[in-house]
Amino acid sequence: MTEYYFMNGEYVEASKAVIPVRTHAFLYGTSVFEGIRAYWNTDEKQLYAFRAPEHYDRIIRSGKIMHMQSPYTTQEYCDITKKLLAKNNYKEDTYIRPTLYKKAQRVGPGLHDNEDGLIIMTNKMGAYIDKPEGLKVCVSNWRRNSDNAIPPRAKIGGSYANTALIKADAHYSGFDDAIVLDEQGLVTEGSAMNLFLVQNGKLVTTPVSDNILVGITRNTVIEIAHDIMGLETIERPISRTELYISDEAFYCGTGAQILPVTNIDHRNIGEGTIGPVTKELQKIYYDVVQGKVPKYKKWCMPVYD
Ligand SMILES: Cc1ncc(COP(=O)(O)O)c(C=O)c1O
């Protein structure tokens, strides 16, 4: 079956969604993007895009930082996304990748006089890292780029060169992923996901001022931990050695979902197995994203009428 993407105002066949080689975003990484998941609910025979408006609000904010004028409102983005998913007739878990990009065909890095383009790609998608027993990770010897260099708060294409270096070194050193420190040596997040620790029955996570992407899953975790599990989240700076002595640790993100971390720098976290808080959160999270928890159905945008 032909798959379609949305490109600069039109639904086009995926194979025809191409950009010229002189495109500014290709030459300089001047794009901002989102990763959204849609989940297939077998019982309801419905595809639900999870927290789509929050993702589109964020792409508009990322674009603002990069002098981009979003061509659509959040509502318009959601309508286009629904139409695209339905056109592709997806009946399984799906990934949606909107990219706002600098479209000028020119050499020279300036963002001025540089028209903005928009592409939304979609594809079927399963687990991000398939390791149900938990991840063994390291603290990366690369540092996260800082707010005054390439702001992690904005999901900027070019800043994922930092992520790529982090991910590649972790892989070549035999780890599943990494935890990244900032220039001050404080814990930020994973390569492309936020990080939570469990300490004495409370969740601890990096504050939004400490060079992280302000994750939508991070917010989902804080809300469901509070409302359903009665767990408080403390947002505060985290030092490296706290990682080693926490009771539990897990990553979260749209792609990653909830990923338990069971070993950091060759030290077991807790017993070195998935802890009870992480396990329960994982279960609740999968129910929430599939639209199975009435309180949070508001986060699930149905695709089929
Ligand atoms: C660097 C980084 N941090 C965190 C996240 C998690 O963000 P979200 O939960 O909004 O997908 C992502 C994934 O998009 C990411 O790339």
Residue 122: pLDDT band with limits 50, 70, 90: very high
Cα angle vertex 158, ends 110, 6, to 5°?
Answer: 90
Which stretches does DSSP call E strand in 22-89?
31-33, 36-41, 46-50
The reported pLDDT for the residue numbered 182 is: 98
**Is pLDDT of 131 > 90?**
no
**Binding-site residues, ligand 1, Cβ < 6 A:** 35, 189, 192-194, 213, 215-218, 253-254
As a whole-number percent, the residues of the chain with pLDDT over 70 amount to: 99
Q: What confidence score (pLDDT) does residue 127 get?
A: 67
Contact 36, 96 (CB under 8 A): yes
Predicted TM-score of the model (pTM): 0.97
Confidence category of residue 126, pLDDT binned at 50, 70, 90:
confident
Q: Do domains 4-124 and 135-289 have the same CATH topology?
A: no
Question: Probe ligand 1: pick from 33, 54, 99, 194, max atoms within 8 Å of CB?
Answer: 194
Q: pLDDT over 90 for what percent of the chain?
A: 97
Name the residue of 129, 217, 257 whose CB sits within 8 Å of the most ligand 1 atoms, as the mutation to test its pocket. 217
Map out the domains of the chain as residue ranges: 4-124, 135-289
Per DSSP, the chain holds a count of helices (H) and strands (E) of 7, 17
CA distances from 77 to 9, 51, 80, 272 (A): 11, 12, 5, 42
Query: Is the model's pLDDT at 234 over the cut of 80?
Result: yes
Please give the mean pLDDT across all residues of the chain. Answer: 97
Nearest CA to ligand 1 atom 1: 192
Q: How far is the CA of 270 from the centre of ligand 1 (A)?
A: 25
The pLDDT value given to residue 237: 98
H runs (alpha helix) in 66-128: 74-87
Q: What is the mean pLDDT of residues 53-61?
A: 98
Tokens coding 12: 């086009």
Which residue's CA is the closest to the ligand 1 atom numbered 6?
Answer: 253
Among residues 91, 155, 167, 297, the one annotated as catalytic is 155
User: Given a cut of 80, is residue 190 above it in pLDDT?
Assistant: yes
Distance CA(89)–CA(111), nearest Å, equals 37
Closest CA to 125 of 256, 13, 31: 256
Burial 62-99 (b: 16+ CB within 10 A, else e): bbeebebebebebeebbebbbebbeebebeebbbbebb
**Cα–ligand 1 centroid distance for 195 (angstroms):** 10
**Is the confidence at residue 19, as pLDDT, over 80?**
yes
Q: Can you give the pLDDT at residue 111?
A: 96
Average pLDDT, integer, range 263-278? 97
- pLDDT for 164: 98
CATH class for the domain made up of 135-289: alpha beta
CB 247 within 8 A of CB 198: yes
pLDDT of res. 267: 98
Q: What is the mean pLDDT of residues 288-296?
A: 98
Domain 4-124 falls under CATH 3.40.50.2000:
no
Q: Any idea which of 119-133, 189-203, 216-230, 266-280 has the lowest mean pLDDT? A: 119-133
Answer yes or no: are the C-beta atoms of 284 and 263 closer than 8 Å.
no
Kindly report the protein residue whose alpha carbon is nearest to atom 16 of ligand 1: 192
Ligand 1 centre from 166 Cα, in Å?
15
Side chain identity at 35, as an amino acid letter?
G
Active site residue 155: yes
Q: How far is CA 178 from CA 37, 190, 249, 272, in A?
A: 23, 6, 12, 17
Could you give the 3-state DSSP secondary structure of residue 145?
A: coil
For the CA of 152, the nearest atom of ligand 1: 1
- 136-162 average pLDDT score: 98
Q: Which of 187, 200, 175 is nearest to 242 (CA)?
A: 187
Nearest CA to ligand 1 atom 11: 254
**Is the pLDDT assigned to residue 163 strictly greater than 90?**
yes
Of all protein residues, whose CA lies closest to atom 4 belonging to ligand 1? 193
Asked which of 81-95, 118-132, 233-247, 289-303 is least confident by mean pLDDT, the reply is 118-132
Residue 236 CB-density burial (10 A; 0-12 exposed, 13-18 middle, 19+ buried): exposed
Q: Is the dihedral of CA 17, 40, 76, 79 positive or negative?
A: positive
Q: How many residues does the chain have?
A: 305
In the predicted model, what is the mean pLDDT of residues 257-265?
98
Q: Both tokens of residue 76?
A: 């318009």
State which H helix or E strand residue 204 sits in.
strand 202-205
Q: What mean pLDDT comes out for the span 137-156?
A: 97
**Residue 256: is its pLDDT beyond 80?**
yes
